[in-house]
């Protein structure tokens, strides 16, 4: 039996996760641009994504697993906080 993701059934969880994903998109879209939203280095971007992903995991572990399954930068067992 597969556990259902809260992302698809809880509007508030979905809004919180979408906001975290939007923050992640801003990080990666601005990396290397020199803009005010440029975090500077790939290492910092990965650390920030890891932090955001941890927040997603707390909200919805099932949705988190679907995001991270193919992300070589994040280990499903452990991740580091910023």
Domain boundaries along the sequence of the chain: 7-68
C-alpha span between 23 and 26 (Å, rounded): 5
- In which band, very low, low, confident or very high, does the pLDDT at 79 lie, cut at 50, 70 and 90? very low
Chain segment 13-70, per-residue pLDDT in tens: 999 999 999 999 999 999 999 999 999 999 999 999 999 999 999 999 999 998 887 6
The pLDDT-based confidence of 9 (bands split at 50, 70, 90) is very high
- Among 58, 57, 39, smallest CA distance to 48 is for 39
pLDDT of 75 higher than 60: no
Cα-flanking dihedrals φ and ψ of residue 16, to 5°?
-65, -45
Please tell me what DSSP assigns to residue 40: S
Overall pTM > 0.85: no
């Amino acid at each position: 039996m597969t556990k259902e993701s809260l992302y698809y059934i809880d509007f508030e969880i979905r809004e919180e996760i979408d906001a975290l994903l939007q923050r992640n998109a801003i990080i990666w879209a601005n990396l290397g641009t020199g803009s005010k939203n440029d975090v500077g280095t790939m290492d910092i971007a990965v650390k920030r994504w890891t932090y955001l992903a941890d927040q997603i995991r707390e909200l919805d572990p099932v949705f988190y697993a679907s995001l991270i399954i193919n992300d070589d930068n994040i280990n499903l067992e452990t991740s580091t906080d910023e």
